[in-house]
Structure 1
Amino acid sequence: MMLNSKSIGNKIAEARKKTNLSQAELAQQVSISPQAVGKWERGESMPDIMTLNRLAEILAADLNYFSENFHRGAVDTMAYESVETEGQAYPADRDPKAENQTARSWDMSKGNWENADFSGLKNLGEQFSSSNIKNCKFTNSDLSGLILGKNNIELCDFSRSDLKGSRIQSSNLLKNQFDHCSFVDTDFSRSNIGKCNFSGADFTGARFDTGCFERNEMTNTVLKRTSFKNTEISDVIFEGRIEDCHFEGCGFYKVKFQGATILNTFFKYNRKFKKVEFSDCKVDRLTYAFLKNNEANLTGITLIEE
């Protein structure tokens, strides 16, 4: 079953009734209108991840409760004998003021997420691995250290998010917005990345190994100490400053370096490299030697005089 607005709505309604809260009472605690709660429960809209976390606290449920992998019997065994604290109902054995109540353990991996707003999310770790994620928002999020394995991510918006130090493995990334994201020291391995917008993204120290990279927008991207190894690169235009980068064992198809300044960059054992087009590019002597050795078409390349 898809973990969509209808699925989450049913779970909100189920937990709300078990805590003996009306829609109006729940709405008051979340600081929204009763009509909004009604829309959630009917599946007409869905709360964002921050609100889901707040609902989990109010309804005395782990955030995993909203995941499709949550065992439904678990909600029936929860202790709902409650005490009143500042107008909110809590399980009798729970201290609502305890600091660790805001850091609940949750895992949203192995799920199907669609049309959800996760903007501003932090500290995901491996909590979204092995998931299908479509048309979701992750804008302005701190996703540093994110680990994605066997994910399918399509039509999602990660604009202006921090993904530095992440590991993206055996995943498909298709038609996503990654503009102005940080991918500093991020590893992409055995992944297919296509038709994504990486405009203004920072790939300093990023590594691409054994995958496909095609039809991606690379306007004003930062490529410094970036490596592409055993990667099929197609329908991509590289521009701007490319420094201390590494291209080895890659296949090139309809690739163009346009208006680029390429410095101290390694090219070796790349396939179909004769067909790569260089237009108004400047390179240093070391890079020029690597390009020539890789049988590049040097038309459109100017050697920088030292």
Structure 2
Amino acid sequence: MALKSKVLIVGGTGYLGKRLVKASLEQGHETFVLQRPEIGVDIEKVQLWCDKLLLSFKKQGARLVIGSFNDHRSLVEALKQVDVVICAISGVHIRSHQILLQLKLVDAIKEAGNIKRFLPSEFGTDPARMTDAIKPGRITFDDKMVIRKAIEDAGIPFTYVSANCFAGYMVGGLCQPGHILPSRESVTLFGDGNKKSIFLDEDDIATYTIKTIDDPRTLNKTLYLRPPANILSQREVVGLWEKLIGKELQKSSLSEQEFLNIMKEQDYAEQVGLTHYYHAFYHECLANFEIGKDAEEACVLYPDIKYVKMEDYLKQYL
């Protein structure tokens, strides 16, 4: 039996990062979590929370390794202890933040010279398919392509994970921005509500991601997470909820132009986020294509993984 890779999670205390740590440990990998001393130095409560979470990882069997984006040598030394690096730095709508940190990580990986797989912080819409995205939201896709170019120019082995819509952000609010709990009274549909999107439980995203790191079939490819039962329209998500509560919601509709008009009234960060809703729910950007060569579909590669269907996911809100 082949030895499992040693895995370093960067951003391990974040929303997806903590799930990646858990999945890596569950799948038997020697798991390292980057402990960044600069995180939360001026925010005591955040620092305390991060410290507690890091200690809980240690109790579960993970190893903490200190490394700072302000200290290139410390990053290189951390990387030399592992085989695979997964970056889960949370996405923020400040161009100079995530892109610069990941470029520093790419430089450190290149110098370390021992990393056999790097998974950058993507996990959403495939940026390679979003060249026509509208501004200002396209900045996040452009940034991810900058990272991809740096990775490939450096000759670093990679896997890009396209996980589409996180259920915690989308399904709980019936796909409505700013909502995290499903209403029992009403819902606003994007247009006719019939454009298909793809939804995943965040723990499943982590499970699939870790599954791929030692798989030669996904080396230097994009891994698409497209569970067949979770390729749903907003109207279908609403229908699942209505079935569970035994009640039909009052529905209104927001036209494409009305959505754009509302978006223009928001601040920059809100506009960036709403752009993703716009392309997913008016243009069906997540489900309007077939994956081609240089890509794999996770559910085909790993049929043994029993992913959470959105019908079951919604039951937690009853």
Q: TM-score, normalised to structure 2's length?
A: 0.24
Give the structure with the higher percent helix.
Answer: 2
Q: Comparing both chains, which one has the higher relative contact order based on Cα–Cα distances under 8 Å and sequence gaps of 6 or more? A: 2
Q: TM-score, normalised to structure 1's length?
A: 0.25
Higher Rg = 1
